[in-house]
């Protein structure tokens, strides 16, 4: 498949939708109260899990779209920058998947029954398991922080392209 030179509208919508969902998801994650064993999830956890499932669904659709509609890196960039940006982009996909799946596993090992925005019951991946839950809690936290590191690198690179190189890389992800 020949890679196209520009991101199309669906790729741009997927990109900014994930940005918006993560901007909601992190504050919910940090602000929601800690739940100890035996406690049932309340509204903040239902919202965290429901937004998390939405992110998982959107990233899977986005990845499928990306694989079926490849886009070449900006041609004016030196090869090292092209390779490093591609690497960070693929790692962003992997870490969004890892963060959502580790969260889903963690909620499953807690033995909770959870709904999607109070609309329908969400499927769980495993049954109650305290030891596995503890291990996966650490993984969810590690994944969420590694994702932040990648986002900082990615946004930092975007700012360098805007203000230092003054090239058209940012335009590639903007409407139009």
Q: How far apart are CA 30 and CA 107, in angstroms?
A: 16
Contact, 75 vs 4, CB < 8 A? no
What separation in angstroms does the CA of 46 have from each of 25, 116, 124, 158, 161?
12, 7, 14, 34, 39
Q: What value, to the nearest 5°, has the Cα angle with vertex 152 and ends 12 and 20?
A: 40
- Give the burial class of 99: count Cβ atoms within 10 A of its Cβ; 0-12 exposed, 13-18 middle, 19 or more buried: buried
Contact, 124 vs 114, CB < 8 A? yes
Tell which positions 76-95 bind ligand HEM, by CB under 6 A: 85, 89, 92-93
| # binding residues, ligand HEM (CB under 6 A) | 43
Least separation in angstroms between CB 78 and ligand HEM: 13
Tell which positions 92-151 bind ligand HEM, by CB under 6 A: 92-93, 96, 99-100, 103-104, 106-107, 137, 140-141, 144, 151
- Choose which of 44, 139, 154, 167 interacts with ligand HEM (CB under 6 A): 154
Least separation in angstroms between CB 71 and ligand HEM: 5
Q: Which residues bind ligand HEM (CB under 6 A)?
A: 15, 18-19, 22, 25-26, 29-30, 34-35, 48-49, 52-53, 55-56, 66, 71, 73-74, 85, 89, 92-93, 96, 99-100, 103-104, 106-107, 137, 140-141, 144, 151, 154-155, 158, 169-170, 172-173
């Amino acid at each position: 498949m020949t890679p196209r030179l520009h991101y199309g509208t669906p790729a741009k919508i997927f990109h900014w939708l994930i940005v918006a969902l993560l901007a909601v998801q992190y504050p919910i994650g940090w602000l929601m109260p800690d739940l100890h064993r035996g406690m049932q999830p309340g509204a903040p956890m239902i919202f965290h899990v429901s937004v998390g499932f939405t992110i998982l669904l959107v990233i899977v659709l986005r990845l499928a779209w990306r694989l079926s509609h490849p886009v070449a890196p900006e041609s004016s960039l030196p090869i090292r920058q092209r390779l490093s940006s591609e690497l960070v982009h693929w790692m962003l996909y992997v870490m969004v998947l890892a963060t959502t799946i580790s969260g889903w596993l963690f909620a499953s090992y807690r033995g909770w029954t959870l709904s999607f925005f109070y609309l329908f019951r969400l499927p769980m991946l495993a049954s109650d398991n305290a030891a596995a839950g503890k291990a996966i809690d650490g993984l969810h936290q590690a994944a969420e922080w590694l994702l932040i590191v990648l986002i900082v690198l990615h946004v930092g690179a975007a700012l360098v392209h805007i203000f230092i190189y003054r090239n058209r890389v940012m335009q590639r992800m903007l409407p139009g």
